[in-house]
Structure 1
């Protein structure tokens, strides 16, 4: 684990204690993901890693991981996660022994998140890469991903229009929600059925809902 000095003061004291706690948990259980969280706390004090790894985010991503394994199995030569943010879902997939993944590319339009994602996944032995890019401008044929993941479909104005950019037959995992009160959620859905109608996938291997405290998360796994 790389040693680092956290900022001083009240915020620094909180981060210093969080860093020591998480680093201790990593030493106890040997979990690379927890070790990555400790590195992020130490090296990226500006990162909102507490938000990215809160219980709701983890619950939604654990649900995605489990249903993905149940629907498509665990072997992927290459997969891409769009809107990958700090790379938490990638870290969770790479940490799960059920999965055999050759490479994960985490793509986000925000250039400030790539360094954090790389730090979190520094223990992935070269299987992780964070890229700054616009999902509407990617060459998906060249990307050659066996699975495309997008867990932020509520932010996509024209979901079907974006899906039409993907090569036919591409496996996808999509999530949206019914949290209409958030201004940035411009494409929420009211139900899993509504999500299915919006996405119009060629095949659906999983369709379901995960009730949360203030909203319900919906997920589809299938092919375009």
Structure 2
């Protein structure tokens, strides 16, 4: 009982220190994204924000952001981010002055992540929405997003079936990896060529890979 109480106090102390640290950094650099991280730590103590914003996650999203800019420029009306989790990629896109984005919808099947994503992106106001939905049931033809982002293709059983639900000509940014040892990764690919063969995009603006310590991440940007 004493050990459990000490553990709870240690966790509370860590959250308080992390909140003070990120809030101080946000004030120093005047950065709304860091301020959003501070608010998540304070309001959602059980959120795994340390994993969502670790160096590998950030590196992969920076790679996506920079490659997107090179491929299609920075102006978008509305972007849909599927499997958006805590909304880190939208926050990074809103934080980048090179982009002019009308709005971003972060869409995830897990209803518990929407409130966290909204907290992280509160500075974006009504330009950001966190929605709970299954990507297979979305009406892409009616929504007509300028860009659909899915950085979790390794979690999708049938990528081609999902891509077939998008109107022809829809711009997409897709990421997958070869991290086969992760149980939740049900559809990894072993190479960039394999990923391209699986996606079968009509037009490819970018195809590349980003090696990390335990796996390689693959990315495609183009149209279905």
Query: TM-score range with shorter-chain normalisation?
Result: over 0.9
Cα displacement string for residues 31-64 of structure 1 (whole angstroms, at most 9, x for unaligned residues):
0000000000000001000010000000000000
Q: Which residue does the alignment assign to 1:187?
A: 187
Would you identify which runs of 4 or more consecutive aligned residues in structure 1 move more than 2 Å? none
Tell me the CA shift for residue 74 of structure 1.
0.4
- Aligned partner of 2:112 in structure 1 is 112
Shift of 1:142: 1.6
SS at match of 2:90: helix
How much has 1:109 moved relative to structure 2?
Answer: 0.1
Could you tell me which residue of structure 1 aligns to residue 45 of structure 2? 45
- 1:153 is matched with 153
Tell me the secondary structure at the aligned position of residue 123 of structure 1: helix
Matches of 1:108 and 1:125, distance apart in 2: 19
Residue 137 of structure 1 corresponds to 137
Q: Which residue is equivalent to 1:29? A: 29
Secondary structure of the residue aligned to 2:98 is: coil
State the match for 1:198 in structure 2. 198
> Cα distance, 1:125 vs. partner?
2.6
Q: Identify the range of structure 1 (181-190 vs 23-32) with the bigger mean alpha-carbon deviation.
A: 181-190
Deviation at 1:200, TM superposition (A): 0.2
User: Could you say which residue in structure 2 is the equivalent of 1:3?
Assistant: none
**Matched residue count:** 218
CA shift, 1:178, in A, is 0.2
Give the superposed CA RMSD. Answer: 1.0
Shift of 1:101: 0.1
Q: Which runs of 5+ in 1 are unaligned?
A: 1-7
Separation in structure 2 between the aligned mates of residue 157 and residue 144 of structure 1, nearest angstrom? 24
Q: How does 1:164-183 map to 2 (within 5 A)?
A: 164-183=164-183
DSSP-derived class of the 2:195 partner: helix
1:84-95 equivalent positions in 2, closer than 5 A: 84-95=84-95
- Alignment of 1:64 with 2:64, yes or no, is yes
- Which residue matches 1:20? 20
In 1, the alpha carbon distance for the partners of 2:62 and 2:14 equals: 27
TM-score normalized by the length of structure 1: 0.96
In 1, Cα distance between the equivalents of 2:191 and 2:100? 32
1:211 counterpart residue number: 211
Tell me the SS of whatever aligns to 2:122: coil
